[in-house]
Structures are given as structure tokens and as C-alpha cells.
Amino acid sequence: MGTDVTPSRAAAIAATAALCAVLSGCGGSDDSADPAASPSTSAGAAGDRSGPELAQAVADLMEDTPFRATASGEDSTGTVRAELVVAPNGAHELIEHSVDGSMESLSIGQDVWGRYSGDILPFELEDPDVWLHSDASTAEAILGASLDGRGESPFDPAADFSAVTLGEPEEVDGVPALVLENYPLDDDGTGTVWVAAEGEPWPLRTVGTSQFQGESVTQETRFSDFGEVEELTPPPADQTMEWEDAFAQWWSPEEQAELDDLLSGAEG
């Protein structure tokens, strides 16, 4: 087995997880809200706020709010569909690629579980439904991307919103929405964000194109269930296997050395 099928292969398929960058957020608050049912303020969500001011308000609102998100998009090899739940105590994410297969991750604290199908892994597990367990730093070093739903958030309060402008109001699934254009979805791309026009400015939809490990990824994301997500629970112990045990029987000494180098870099 060549050295391009384990850490390198895993890092390559992490490009299919580029939607993490536009799906991510931070969980922690129990404040609940439904944009379709939120009480209207006298001036609506925008009030007298400019594009940058409203964008900042959205980011501040989402910083500690659990939510659900679904996304669809495409990269150079196929289409991607993703679901993300950011809970008060962690995150659960499912990413399905039309060519490579699927990757599902569950993170609670510093524990990460993952299960995979298709060509995501360089070998077949005896039980395809088993969850592979690892600590967060090991999993992130192997995949080259955050697995906890809290990576580069499109709702980063520290982002530069100075170039954001207000577009013409629209509707998203029947909900009146304000449109924020040229919104910084991540460090490499901008897009458009639709936020609730009444009550709190909850994000309803984002569309944008960003760069991830050399891949240009275009995606649409929709958000819901703000503050209404329950805490996550770990998989049953009899349905889990340690990541290192699953890979050890398949890796050559060269591949193990490559992994050790990755982990050393993560710790340094």
C-alpha cells in the first residue's frame, strides 16, 4: 500500500468537508428562537443599521447559539451534501459526497467519533457501522480539518464586515429576509447571507464560493432550530473502536511515520 492512501488520502477527502467552513458555528446557549415566530421590533431587524452593523449583529447573535444547518454544493469531482447540528455540548456532522462516499463525525468535548463509507477510508471495516474514536487533536491532524463544527465560522464576530452591503429585501421560504451581500464566509471567500427581517436577525440562508485546500467549492446553506438543539450523547461503547486500532493493521511503517509527523506538528 502506498503512502498516499492514509494521512494523505484522508487529507485529500477532507476537501469534501469544505462545507465545514460555512456550516460552522459555536454552541453553548439555551436561548431559543424561531425566525418565523419571533416578535417583531418596531423597526425590524435592520432598524437604522448599515450592512456592516447588521452583519456584526448576526455574528454576535450566533456566537453562542446552538442550531441546525443543511448544505449542498459541488467541487471539481462531484456534489456534496452536508448536515450539521451544533449542540450546547458538541457537534454532529454528516457529509455525503457523490463520488468519495460519506463521512460522519460526532464530537463531545475532546472526544471525536467518526464513521465512513465509500472511498473515504483506504480499507473496509468488518463492521461498516462502527464508530472510530479518537481525541480531537489526532482526528484533526489526520484529516487536516476541524471535525467539531467550530472551525472557521461564517458568523465570526471578529471578522471584518466593513465591505458588507445591504441588498434588496427578499423572502426565504416565506419568511421576510434582509440580504447581506459581500459577507465574509471565511478567510478565502465572500457570499450572500439572508437574515430574518423581523425580530432577531437570525441567518436563514447563505450562498457563496470559497477556497479549501486548492478546491473551489460553491455551496448553499440553510439554518434552523436556533437555541432548540438538545445535548448530544456518545455512541454506545459496543459500537465503537479506537481509530489507531482500526488503522494499525493496514498501515505500513512508512505510513505510520507520516502519521507520527502529522501528530508531532499538531502538538508543536
Eight-state DSSP code of residue 117: -
Task: State how far the alpha carbon of 146 is from the alpha carbons of 187, 231, 237, 266, in Å.
Answer: 15, 20, 24, 12
Name every residue whose Cβ is closer than 8 Å to that of residue 101 and which is 6 or more positions away in sequence. Answer: 116, 117, 118, 119, 120
Query: Does position 76 have pLDDT exceeding 80, yes or no?
Result: no
Distance CA 45, CA 197 (A): 5
Helix, coil or strand: residue 236: coil
Tens of pLDDT, residue by residue over 79-107, are 888 899 989 998 898 988 888 788 888 98
User: Residue 61 region, left (φ>0) first, then alpha (ψ -120 to 50), else beta?
Assistant: alpha
Tens of pLDDT, residue by residue over 184-240, are 976 667 899 999 999 999 999 999 876 655 667 778 999 999 999 999 999 999 999
- The pTM of this model reads 0.72
By DSSP bridging, strand 240-242 and strand 131-135 are parallel
